[in-house]
Structure formats: structure tokens, C-alpha cells
Structure 1
Amino acid sequence: MVDAVVSFVVERLGDYIIQEAGFLREVKDEVLMLKNELEWMQCFIKDAEQKQVEDAMIRKWVSDIRDIAYDTEDVLDSYLLNCSRGHNRGFLASIKKNSCIFHQEKIDLYGIGKKIETLKKRITDLKRKREFYRLEDICNKGEGTSNDLGKLKELRRVTSFVVEENVIGFEDDAKVLLGKLVEDEPRRFVISIYGMGGLGKTTLAKKLYHNSAVVNKFHRRAWVSVSQDYKTEDLLRRIIKSFRISYSTIELEKMNTEDLERHLHDSLLEHSYLVVIDDVWQREAWESLKRSFPDSNNGSRVIITTRIKDVAERSDERTHVHKLRFLSQDESWKLFSDKAFRNVTRDEGLEELGREMVQKCVGLPLAIVVLSGLLSTKKPQEWHMVRDQIWRHMRNDSIHISYLLDLSFSNLSYQLKLCFLYLSIYPEDTEILVEELIRLFVAEGFITQEKDQVMEDVAKNHLDELIDRSLIQIERIYHGKVETCRVHDLLRDLAIEKAKELNFVHNYIDSAHSNVFSTSCRRLYCQNLPVLFIRLPSLRSIFLSAGGFDFLIGANCRGFRLLRVLYIQYYEATPIACNSFPEEATKLIHLKYLGIRNSCITCLPPSISHLQSLQTLDFYSFNSSINLPTELSKLQDLRHLIGEFEGPLQIENLTNLQTLKFVSYQSWAKVNTGKLINLRELHIDSYSVKDEVKFSFDSIAKLKSIIILCVELFYKHFFDSLEPLSHCPALLDLQLDGKMKRLPRDMHEVVPNLECLCLRNTGLEDDPMPKLEKLRSLIFVELLYKSYGGKKMVCTSKGFPRLEKLVVDLDGLEELQVEEGAMKMLKSVVISKAMSSKLRIPEGLGSISVTTRK
């Protein structure tokens, strides 16, 4: 585990030597020597940790190496900070180029030289102790295999489109519970699913929640996760939002518990509903919500998942209790083999080994999928080694889940270890936004630049690898791509434990893990930054779910100068949301990620240009827009710019920019887009313009790297020719909201590689299918509100050869005709509730999942 931290620091030292050569010139050799010493230490660290030796001296020795690695990073970051003090970063760049030496810099060089010498002495002392106490001999007494079980398979390039989570073994359970959900009993009742952690309670609830019969029966559905620490008001707000009940966000935040209960109750009176209350730990949780859900004798249902039998059995006076069973041997083997044999050829010997290990999982799905995820990365000859490791740590002739999770973690590369540990920064049951997580991985420095690959793509591959190993669960898919994910409680506990041991992350919200706090902690999550945390000089990342910038004001700011990530998430419409951006924050020159969400900030100061290392600037707010200063153009490393932006956009020189959302067409039209060679995602809207305006795609044609393009226009606006998009070969996802009387005849030549298409308000007069079906790469198609006004659509033979999902929400459509041979890959059709009674769907689609939505 410590090897991940040391490897990370060693790589950063290498980056320093290359990138900061101008500053480090007189101590470059010392830094290189320090890097080499840490690399030598790594060899013993990996061996000691892999042997699992329970020896206090070994643990102390490894802990000391961790501290040296962290101190090394602190010394260099502090030195660079001192060199930059009093200068702006643009001026510093010229210092590097010209190799100018200032008196202050000479002093700093002398200071860093002494500190590096001290670090080297500490390493020498550790080497002496290793030899004196014969730590190698102690370590070699422990049995086990070394970490060198062969290199992990090269990260495969995962397709953007994924299948839903495997639900093997729940067929009978799902059938029984589905019958309870849709039976004619008019009274509302509770279905309680209970069982130990890792049995698949949430997975089964999801299977039911998304079942087409359930979707069609209930007018409204909602899902909320409770967890051990909850607030009733927060649960009620989240339920209201999940139900998509109309509300004013500002008013909703002002409501107290009684107001929220009344609002939810009144909104559901005339509707049949299903609500899933996931991960309940106390009976009081449902009791606190119960009166908000009316029993209108219309067949409404509540599903509760819990680990606790008493909670399940005493939830409600009308409760169907369902104890989730363990998987049978046949079910366990199918669940295991579907993943474990993806990358190796199955033979009799491997199958015998696999069955032997699966049997020891005693039918626990989480244990099985983690084991199969681990073995899927191993060569056939390495399966014996894994089996031997597991056998030495069995309890009562079965695999203990905690050891299996630990083993899966220990077999990760150091980059994947860091990414997994980072997940502990999120509160329990958090739905994690994938694109945000990827940007944080890059900002934290976990991602190594690989040849001809964008770092964000490498980070996405890391995330896919963790998903493949079943260490992360897919939560929500949008346009066929994983949009959000989450971490199982047991895996999150593992991440918290190891992150805390490394001083890697401290989650101050989680009361079970916040009793001990180290001043050398690197990353911190809390609601408000308490005074006692003011002096944390080693902090690299701060995540706040409330509060403001008070901790940066005045002298306090000096305690946070090494920050790389600052993320503040205000509660929606909170009265304490910050409305001004403090100048002090622009002194945090190491910042790579600055995210201030749902604040009331409307402009940024010119001094934002001091943050020359900034990669992500995220000021998105649901209720306010923001103006950007012209000095923003000096942020040459900026990769992601997110917010509701108004006014001039001085972004022409931001050649590294990959993401820009959300901007008005008026602002975008004035941008010289020729230099934005790396822009991959662009969101444009013109809802604020009242005059009829034609949208031109000419500026888009210059964006050679564009992958996702979303254009939303005011209903009077209309699109001109899509022909300029033919110059965008990378375009995969196109979302158009605005008038467009007809599609181009040669649409398949304009956007030949398109995989996702969403049309809304386009007002097409002709059937779009004859043109769309020629787009041979299309996988996902949405035809939404007023995109087509006709009554019939026809898909001809061999059309849509790769289409997997079709979503249609067209009030006037009465018939969808699909000729034989069309849509051969189609898996799902989603139609609107209003269409369900009148739309004729061909019999050929009978075997495909057809669901309705509101």
C-alpha cells in the first residue's frame, strides 16, 4: 500500500527534474539522487507488504518511508512556492527561460539543498536499521508470493457503451417480488429486502425498479439512499427531486421538515408511486418518512433494503419481508465464469481451480465478482498463486470477504491503488459523477502521460479497470456511457481504512472514521472547515459541502498554499452561498482544480490569471451565470471550463481546452475557434435571445477534435446546414434542440462516425428514419418533443445495423414500422406514456424490452 505513495512521489520527482529544471538547476543532482534512493526503497517495500508480515518493526520501517516520501513532496512544492512568491506566474516563466538567478532564489536553493540532505540522511538511517535489525530475514520468514505475479494486463480500450450490472441468481427473487409490486392489492404496502452486505440487495432492487412492467404501472418512481448518518429533511428533498415533482428550488431549500412532508404528500395523492429506500440502518428512518407517503388505495408500493432483520420485519404494519439467499453453486459458477474467463482460454485445469475457489465464496455475490475480477487480470499459470494466497487466510473453510477485498486491492498497480483510495473522499452512498472524477484523477497527478493518449482517456481507462474488477459499481448510464458510479459499503470501508493508514484521505463527515486526525493528512472532506484544521500545511485537497472561503482569509491562507484541489459544493440555493471570489484564493498557485458549485459568484477577478497550473475551472450554478475576465486567456494549462458563462469569451489562446460548457451562441459566435484544436466537448445555448436567429455550424467545423456537441436554441431559432460538421471526423455525440425543417439528404456523409443522436424541437416535416438509418455507427437515438410532426416512421431492411437503444417521445406518432432485417442489434425501445396507448409497434420487436416513461 505504501508502495503506491512512494511510486507516486518518485514519478513526481521525475516530473520536477524535467519540468522545473530552471528552478532546480543547482540542486538537480540532489533531487535525482533522492529519486534513485526512493526507487531502491520501493523494492523492499513491495516485498514487505506483499508478504503480509505481521511484525511491528517492519510496519514502523514502512511507515517511516511513507513519511519521507510525503516530506520529499512537501519540500519541493514549498520550494517552488517560495520561488514564485512576489511574482506572477507569467513572469516566472520568463525566469525559467532565461535562467535568471535572484538573491532570494539563491537562499531558497541553499535551503532546499539542506532539506534534501536531511531527507537523504533519513533514508540512510532507514537502510542502516534494515540491515541492523535484519528486516529482510524477518520478512523472508513469512510465506506468500511476491507482488511480481506478472505484469497486470495492459489496460484494454473499453468501448463507451456498457451493459447493465450482472444480475445472475436473482431470477426467482425478482419474479416473486415483481408479482408483489404489480398485484391488484390497492393498499400501499412495504416490501423489505434484507440480508448481509454483499448479497446484492441493491442490485435486486434496481432490477425491479427498472423492470418494464414496474415502469408502466407506477405514475411516479423515486430512489433514495439512506445510509447510517442521515437527515430527514435531506432525504425528503432528494425524494422530491427523484420523483421529479415540480418545485421551486429556492423554495424547496427554505422548507422545514413539516413543509417538505406536506409538499411530498400532496404531490403524490393523485398518483400511484413506487419509492425505493435503499440501505436503511434504523427503523426510525422509514418512520420519519412514512407520513409523507399517502395510501390512496391505488396500488402504491415502497421497497426497503437493509442488512438488519429487525428493520425489515418491523418497517410497517403491512410488510412483505424477503430474505435474500446466497447463490447456489451453479449460479455462483456462472457469475464467476462470465467475468473470469474473458481474457484466458478455459481448460479443465483452470475450471477445476476456479470451481474450487468459487466454492469457498459460499455463494456471496460480492466475493464472487471481486474474485473473478482479480483472476481476469491473471495469466493461467498465476491462478495457482492466487489460490494459495487465499487458502492461507480462510476462516471456517470459506474465504473471508475482507481478505478477498484486500487481496484484490493489493494486486492493483500503484496508479489504480491511488484512484481506488481516492474514492474514500466521497460520503457513503454518494452517486459519483464520472467526468468529475476523471478530472480530479488528472489534477491530483495520479495519471501518467502516455504516448499519443490524452490523460483524461488514460484516467477513464483506470476507472474502467476498477469497474471491470468489480471495485466500483455502475450507477447510471446516459447515451450509452457510464455517467455516474458508486462504491459498495464494504469496499468503501476498505478504502477508508487504507487511506487513513496512509494519511492519504480523511473524511471528517464520517463519524466512524473521524476520531483521529493527522496533521500530515493530504486530503480532507468535511461539511465546514473547523478552526482546528486551520494549520494543515501538508493538505493537497479540500472538499467542502458547505461553508465559504473564510479559511483562506488573511494569514490563514499561508497554511493552504500547497493545495492542488479546492472543491466547494454549496447546497442548492443555500442562503450562505458565497457571492464574491476572494483574491486570497488566487495565491494558491499550485491549484489544478478549482470547483465552486452553486455559489452566487457572478464574476472572477483578473488575478485569476495567477493560477497558471489550473486545469479545471468549474463554477457551475443552477441559478446564476458568471462573467469571465479577459485575463483568463493566460491560463495556458486550462483543460476544462464549466459554468453558465455570459459576456465575452477570451479563450482563443487556450489551446489545451477540452471542455467548454455552457456558453451562449452570442458569445461563441465571436470566438476565433481555429486555435481550439483540442476542444472535445462543447455545450451552446441561446435561450436568452428573443429575436429569430439562424445558428451556423461554420465555427464548429474548425474543431477537429470535437466528440460531444450539444446545441440548445430558443424555440424560434433554427439551424442552417449541417454540412460544416463533415469537417469534424471525431464527432460521436450530437444533441440538437431547435428548429430544423429537414435533415440533410447526405446525413451519413456529414457525420459518418456518429454514435449518439438526440433531436428535440427540430420540427422535422419528413420522416427522419430514411436518412438516420444510413448512419451505420449509430448506437443510441433519441427523438424527443416536437422533433418530428408526422404520424408514421418507417425503418427499412438493413437500416440501423448497430442501433441498441431507441427513445421516442412524439405526441403525434401513431405507427413505427420496422422491416425485417432492420435494427438487428436493438435491445431497448423507450416510448412516452402518452404514446403507449396509440403507438403500433411491430411484432418483430416483441422480444425487445419496450418501456414507457413520463
Structure 2
Amino acid sequence: MADAVISFAIEKLGDFLVHQVNIRIGVRDDIRWLKEELGLLQATVELAESRQEEKLIRLWLNNVRDVANEAVDILKTFQDGQASLEQGHMDRFLNCICICKKEAQLYDIGNDIESLKKRIGVIKERRLEYGINTILAGPDLKQKERTFIRASAIDTHVDVVGFKDDIQNLMKELNSKDPPLKIISIHGMGGLGKTSLALKLYNSNELRHFGTRAKVCVSNEYTIKDVLKRIIKSFKGPQHEEYMSNMDEHDLRQYLQQLLENQGCYLVLIDDIWDIKAWNQIKIAFPNQDNGSRIMITTRNKKVAETVDKNCLAYQLRLLREEESWELFCKTAEPTHNLEKLGREMVGKCGGLPLAIVILGGLLLHNKSKDYWLKVKEHIWRNLRDDSVDIVEILSLSYKDLSHQMRDCFLYLARFPEDEIIDVERLKHLWIAEEFISEDEEGDGVLMEDLAEDCLNELINRNLIQINYSQLNGKVLACQVHDLVRELAIRKAKEQKNLVISDSSKHQPNLTHLLEGQRRHAIYDEIELSEFCFLPDSVEDLALSESGFTEDPMPSLGNLRNLTTLDLHQVYGGDIMVCSKNSFPSLQVLRLQKFTNLKELQVEDGALPCLKSFRIKKCEELKNIPVQLERILIQTN
């Protein structure tokens, strides 16, 4: 990401030199020097970004990134000042005042650049003083920078390896003739395959007699109201959204209970419960009618598994055995015969954890050279803990093996809420809008959408993205990210200073403080949109999820002059949204999805001058699209 920040700064410095012709020679020379110096630094940064496991390298990159961002801010401050001077009619006296102000601004920009020059000098000195050049000169895990491969349709059927006995035991419980409501809780550590096993059972033909069924993921970030709504929608379909819009928790529990009392036996899968409080708040909605209904629960917490009900079957999922681990690895890495010994040694250090095995397999799938596998093994051996490799280390290793382009796309996944089912078309167009997907360098006419599809498929093949839903021909329509993989993406994105997550349930500080210095990838859950009038104008990419506003029309989102992407997902409240003339002067991408009650979209003349992409989805109440937006409307359904 530092490489992308520097490229952006170099581009802005070059534009400034072209368009700002009436500036002092000294200032022009300083800006030209700054542009050239950042260009020289960029070569080192490209190499350093592949070695960020070294804390020293990471800190040095942060310093470089800060300087590049500050250079852009200096130019922006000067240009904003120039724009204010040029507004309106000015007589000779006012012209003299403006000339004086311009000279003062040039003096300020000169001082600011002098300060940056000193900081760049310190950065170069530290590179030598702390031996950063020596670290960068060492052997690299990656033999060369690779772009992603042209991907064919991928196999979307994933076997649950090694749990035949577990499946039989659990199926026997689910199919038993005992009439009382029975609860089965599957527990074990993260990455063990609890969800995969539960879904295999849930989708089994052997459970066809459950005419009414639902599945929902609770996760660590939840509200009971939202969980209840999602269970009801899973039972009855999304058309119930509007009917439930004014219900509180009590109403929703009663409605769910009444709904199930009028049905036959039901099957419910409640995935990823973190605490017993969540279960206690929803369990009373499930009636026991002695008709053989069943509830499956998955959790990492053994105590939760054992206390959900006094008659509950708490089933602990085990780690894979040696041969089961090897079978799973072979399905993902497809090792050749001469690599079997090396592969078995590495798999043995995964401790039988399925997620660690498939991530390792995805890492090794794309390079079958013995030298590469040896380098991966050496890295694993250097980071063993209690003779086993930590899953976090394997995830980090897989991340470091990605190209710069692929890393940008992977880190972007951190902006989506936990356990979110991600619409693939939405994801690909956001990647393109953020310019993570670049034109094909070979010039063979490949469309950007196809390149984004290749990127998605490679991340799936590396097991960094999980398929949620696909067509029979293998085309993926929806995907998800495992909790542990998402945690890595969040951590890396925060290190790159391009992500901030605000969650009102965690009582975080005010938004202005959170967003200070952040430029993109912000997520806000369960927050009133009126809070966004205080956003700093440095924000470039804003994603609002499950947010609301009480005013009508929708309040202004502040003076977001640099905002290029606005993604509004599942927003509730009033029925009018207004885009005024000065709201979003730089906005290029606007996406509205699941906008409850939105009936009218007003766009003033001259508003959204830079908009290139407008997408709406599941906004049933919105009937008329403004003429200004019809020509760039990509999708509506």
C-alpha cells in the first residue's frame, strides 16, 4: 500500500507542476526535487513491502507513507486557497490583497516542503543506520513478483475431510425419533471446520423431512434484533423485511414463536455463537412442540456449548489425524511425487487444523518448484511454537506471497462486516473503482471485469476467500471470508493506515478522532447518519452498513471533497436522498443497496460532476432515476 500512496503523491506533484505555472522558481524546484526523491524511494519501497514481517521495515514504511500523504495535503491546501482567491469579482484593491495572500501561501508551501525535505533526509539516513538495506538484500521467500494467473472455472464442491464418524454420530442425533426439541452444539477452536461440518449436515438429503428450516450466523458482533430478523427471513424469505421494520426484540421473538408453532418439525442452524447471553436472548423464541424439531449450534466456547440446555448434546470436534491432514492437503496443493516428503513435513506442523492446512496448500499450489517449497519450509521452521506452526503465521505467509495488486484486493475485504455474505459483482466493481485492477499490461484486450474475476478466483484458490454460492457452471455469485482470515486483513490494513472500523456497540471514541489521517475503507455499523456531518474531508472511500437516519431528507455527509467511493448498504430511515451541488465534487462511484423506504433520489444541477458508476440493488421503493444518473446506471434489480 505504501507503493500506491507514493505513486499517488508523485502523480499529484507532477500535475501541480504542469498546471501551476505562476509560482516562484524556488518553490517549483522544491516540488520537482520532492517528486524525483519520492520516485527514487519508491524502488526501495516496492522491495520493502514484501518484507513487512520485520517490524523495523514496517515502521520505516510508515514514515515513507506519512511523508507522501503530507506532500499531497500541502498541495491540496495551496490549491484550495487559490480557489478561494479566484471566486467572485475583484477590483484592483482586492487584486493587490490577493497577490499578497498568494505570496504568503507560497512562503508557507516553501517552508512546508523544506520540512519534508529534512524528513526525507532522516528517512534515508535511518535506512543505513538501522541496517534496512541489509535486510532487504537478504533472501526473499518470493522468487519474483507474479501477477495472477488466468483462472478457469473452479471446483466449488469442497469435501469435509476426516469427519465421517462425526457426521454419522451427529446425523443419528438429528434423525432420532425422540419427539422433544433437541439441541446439538458443535464446539472447537477457530479454523477446525465446525461451520463446514454443520452446513454439510444441514444440506444433507437425509434431513429432507424437516420441511421448515433456517440458518443464521451470530458472530462476535451482533444485535439480537438483527439475529431474530435474519432467522425469520431465512424461514419466510426477504419479503418479510418491511413487515418487521417497526418490530422491537419482544415483538420479533413473539412473531418467530407464533410462526414456528404453526409449522411442522423445524431445523435451525445457529452458527458461531460467542457467548451464552446471545443464546439466552433468542432461545425462548423456539417452541418445543414434541414434533422432533432440532437446533444445531456451533461455537468456539466449550462453556457455551455445554450450557445452552441441560439436555443438550455438546459435541467436541477433534483435530485431523495424520493421514486425514495429508488427504486434505493433497486436495488443495496437488503435490507432485518428488514433493511428497517436503509436503508431509510441513503438514505435520499444522497440528491437524484444517484451515491451516488449506491455507498452506493454497500458498504452495501456484509454485511446484522444490526450491520454493524448501523456502516455505525454512520459514515455517523458524516460526514454530511448541513444535507447531501458528495459523496466524501461515496466513501471514500466504498474504506476503501475493502480488501488490492482489494484496490491495485482499485488504479491501476488511471493509466488510464479520460473516458478511459478499455479492461478487459488487466486490469486483468496487475493486475496479478503487483502481486496484489495472489494465492488462500485455495489451491483449482483456476486460477489467475479467481481470477482477481472475483476481477473485486466485484468492479462492488460495483459500483466502470462501465460496458461499455459485452456479452449476462454477461461476461464483457470493463469497465469504473466514473470521481468522478477516482478522489478518484488518490487522494488515490498519498497519497500512487505510482502514478504520467504528462499531457503536463497542463505545468507541468520536468519528473525527477515529478517522484522523485515514483515507479509505471505513465501516460504520448501527450508527445514526447525522453523526457523519463531522467527517474529515480526507476520507476517500466510505462504506456505511446497517446505518440509519431519522431526518428526511437524508442529512449531509459533510464536506467530503476527496470522497471518490460511497457504498451505502442496508440503510434505513427517511424516503428522500438529496445530492446537492457541492456535496461530492470528487465522487466517482455511488452504490445503493437494500435502502429501506427510499422512494425519491434528487440530484441538483451540477452535482456529482465526476460520477462514473451508479449502481442500485434491492431498492424496491425507488421508482424514478434522475436523468443525470440514467446514462451511467449499471444495474438495477
Q: Normalising by structure 2, what TM-score?
A: 0.84
User: Following the alignment from structure 1 to structure 2, what is the Cα–Cα distance between the partners of residues 247 and 462?
Assistant: 34
Shift of the alpha carbon at 1:432? 1.5
SS in 2 for 1:580: strand
Deviations 1:541-574 (A, max 9, x none): 222232349899999733x111112223345xx4
Aligned counterpart, 1:377: 366
Query: Is 1:569 matched up with 2:563?
Result: no
SS in 1 for 2:385: coil
8 Å Cα contact 1:339/1:373 also seen in 2: yes
8 Å Cα contact 2:424/2:476 also seen in 1: yes
Aligned counterpart, 2:125: 131
Residue 120 of structure 2 aligns to which amino acid in structure 1? Answer: L
Alignment match of 1:235 (pick from 227, 239, 249): 227
Matches within 5 A, 1:53-64: 59-64=58-63
8 Å Cα contact 1:601/1:626 also seen in 2: no
User: Following the alignment from structure 1 to structure 2, what is the Cα–Cα distance between the partners of residues 112 and 378?
Assistant: 54
User: Following the alignment from structure 2 to structure 1, what is the Cα–Cα distance between the partners of residues 166 and 13?
Assistant: 59
Relative to 1, partners in 2 of residues 1:107 and 1:394: Cα closer, same or farther, differing over 3 Å? farther
8 Å Cα contact 1:51/1:143 also seen in 2: no
Shift of the alpha carbon at 1:398? 0.9
Relative to 1, partners in 2 of residues 1:66 and 1:266: Cα closer, same or farther, differing over 3 Å? same
Deviations 1:562-601 (A, max 9, x none): 1112223345xx4x234131415x5312112222341544
User: Following the alignment from structure 2 to structure 1, what is the Cα–Cα distance between the partners of residues 501 and 164?
Assistant: 38
SS in 2 for 1:321: strand
8 Å Cα contact 2:554/2:576 also seen in 1: no
The answer for unaligned runs of 5 or more in structure 1 is 88-102, 642-658, 663-854
Alignment match of 2:592 (pick from 596, 599, 606): 596
Alignment match of 2:382 (pick from 368, 379, 392): 392
Aligned counterpart, 1:774: none
8 Å Cα contact 1:593/1:616 also seen in 2: yes
Residue 558 of structure 2 aligns to which amino acid in structure 1? Answer: C
Aligned counterpart, 1:482: 476
User: Following the alignment from structure 1 to structure 2, what is the Cα–Cα distance between the partners of residues 499 and 288?
Assistant: 34
Shift of the alpha carbon at 1:193? 0.7
8 Å Cα contact 2:405/2:437 also seen in 1: yes
Aligned counterpart, 2:2: 6
Deviations 1:500-534 (A, max 9, x none): 22221111018679568351012321132575981
Aligned counterpart, 2:609: 612
Alignment match of 1:525 (pick from 502, 523, 526): 523
Aligned counterpart, 2:258: 266
User: Following the alignment from structure 2 to structure 1, what is the Cα–Cα distance between the partners of residues 507 and 348?
Assistant: 34
Aligned counterpart, 2:344: 355
8 Å Cα contact 1:281/1:306 also seen in 2: yes
SS in 2 for 1:405: helix
User: Following the alignment from structure 1 to structure 2, what is the Cα–Cα distance between the partners of residues 265 and 60?
Assistant: 55
Residue 389 of structure 1 aligns to which amino acid in structure 2? Answer: H
Residue 282 of structure 1 aligns to which amino acid in structure 2? Answer: D
8 Å Cα contact 1:218/1:274 also seen in 2: yes
User: Following the alignment from structure 1 to structure 2, what is the Cα–Cα distance between the partners of residues 532 and 247?
Assistant: 30
Residue 487 of structure 1 aligns to which amino acid in structure 2? Answer: V
8 Å Cα contact 2:617/2:635 also seen in 1: no
User: Following the alignment from structure 2 to structure 1, what is the Cα–Cα distance between the partners of residues 238 and 227?
Assistant: 17
Query: Is 1:557 matched up with 2:555?
Result: no
Aligned counterpart, 1:402: 392
SS in 2 for 1:435: helix
User: Following the alignment from structure 1 to structure 2, what is the Cα–Cα distance between the partners of residues 500 and 552?
Assistant: 34
Aligned counterpart, 2:457: 464
Aligned counterpart, 1:504: 498
Larger RCO, structures 1/2 (Cα 8 Å, 6+ apart): 2
Aligned length: 610
SS in 2 for 1:520: coil
Shift of the alpha carbon at 1:128? 4.2
CA RMSD in angstroms, aligned pairs only: 3.8
Query: Is 1:630 matched up with 2:627?
Result: yes
User: Following the alignment from structure 1 to structure 2, what is the Cα–Cα distance between the partners of residues 549 and 567?
Assistant: 19
Shift of the alpha carbon at 1:421? 1.7
Shift of the alpha carbon at 1:229? 3.0
User: Following the alignment from structure 1 to structure 2, what is the Cα–Cα distance between the partners of residues 555 and 281?
Assistant: 37
Shift of the alpha carbon at 1:632? 3.5
8 Å Cα contact 1:596/1:620 also seen in 2: yes
Relative to 1, partners in 2 of residues 1:133 and 1:155: Cα closer, same or farther, differing over 3 Å? closer
SS in 1 for 2:359: helix
Shift of the alpha carbon at 1:456? 2.6
Residue 247 of structure 2 aligns to which amino acid in structure 1? Answer: M
Aligned counterpart, 1:321: 314
Aligned counterpart, 1:541: 541
User: Following the alignment from structure 1 to structure 2, what is the Cα–Cα distance between the partners of residues 112 and 457?
Assistant: 46
Relative to 1, partners in 2 of residues 1:232 and 1:17: Cα closer, same or farther, differing over 3 Å? same
SS in 1 for 2:285: coil
Identity, in percent, stands at 33
Deviations 1:431-451 (A, max 9, x none): 122111112112222221223
8 Å Cα contact 2:220/2:274 also seen in 1: yes
Relative to 1, partners in 2 of residues 1:189 and 1:587: Cα closer, same or farther, differing over 3 Å? same
Relative to 1, partners in 2 of residues 1:511 and 1:291: Cα closer, same or farther, differing over 3 Å? closer
8 Å Cα contact 2:552/2:575 also seen in 1: no
8 Å Cα contact 2:63/2:123 also seen in 1: no
SS in 2 for 1:507: strand
SS in 2 for 1:508: strand
Residue 285 of structure 1 aligns to which amino acid in structure 2? Answer: A
User: Following the alignment from structure 1 to structure 2, what is the Cα–Cα distance between the partners of residues 106 and 624?
Assistant: 54
Residue 588 of structure 1 aligns to which amino acid in structure 2? Answer: F
User: Following the alignment from structure 1 to structure 2, what is the Cα–Cα distance between the partners of residues 105 and 11?
Assistant: 33
Relative to 1, partners in 2 of residues 1:84 and 1:238: Cα closer, same or farther, differing over 3 Å? farther
User: Following the alignment from structure 2 to structure 1, what is the Cα–Cα distance between the partners of residues 553 and 616?
Assistant: 18
Alignment match of 2:416 (pick from 422, 426, 435): 426
Shift of the alpha carbon at 1:55? 5.9
SS in 2 for 1:626: coil
Shift of the alpha carbon at 1:48? 4.7
Deviations 1:588-618 (A, max 9, x none): 1211222234154444445365423323323
8 Å Cα contact 1:564/1:592 also seen in 2: yes
Deviations 1:228-282 (A, max 9, x none): 2322221111000011269643331112222212221222223211111110111
SS in 1 for 2:158: coil
8 Å Cα contact 1:568/1:595 also seen in 2: yes
Relative to 1, partners in 2 of residues 1:217 and 1:55: Cα closer, same or farther, differing over 3 Å? closer
Residue 377 of structure 1 aligns to which amino acid in structure 2? Answer: H
Relative to 1, partners in 2 of residues 1:153 and 1:631: Cα closer, same or farther, differing over 3 Å? closer
Residue 362 of structure 1 aligns to which amino acid in structure 2? Answer: G
Aligned counterpart, 2:90: none
Query: Is 1:416 matched up with 2:406?
Result: yes
Deviations 1:83-108 (A, max 9, x none): 88899xxxxxxxxxxxxxxx999999
The answer for unaligned runs of 5 or more in structure 2 is 87-96
Matches within 5 A, 1:94-113: none
User: Following the alignment from structure 2 to structure 1, what is the Cα–Cα distance between the partners of residues 194 and 492?
Assistant: 26
Higher helix share: 2
Alignment match of 2:325 (pick from 328, 332, 336): 332
Residue 279 of structure 1 aligns to which amino acid in structure 2? Answer: D
Shift of the alpha carbon at 1:286? 1.8
Shift of the alpha carbon at 1:621? 4.7
Shift of the alpha carbon at 1:173? 1.8
SS in 2 for 1:65: helix
User: Following the alignment from structure 2 to structure 1, what is the Cα–Cα distance between the partners of residues 103 and 600?
Assistant: 38
Q: Normalising by structure 1, what TM-score?
A: 0.64
User: Following the alignment from structure 2 to structure 1, what is the Cα–Cα distance between the partners of residues 569 and 150?
Assistant: 34
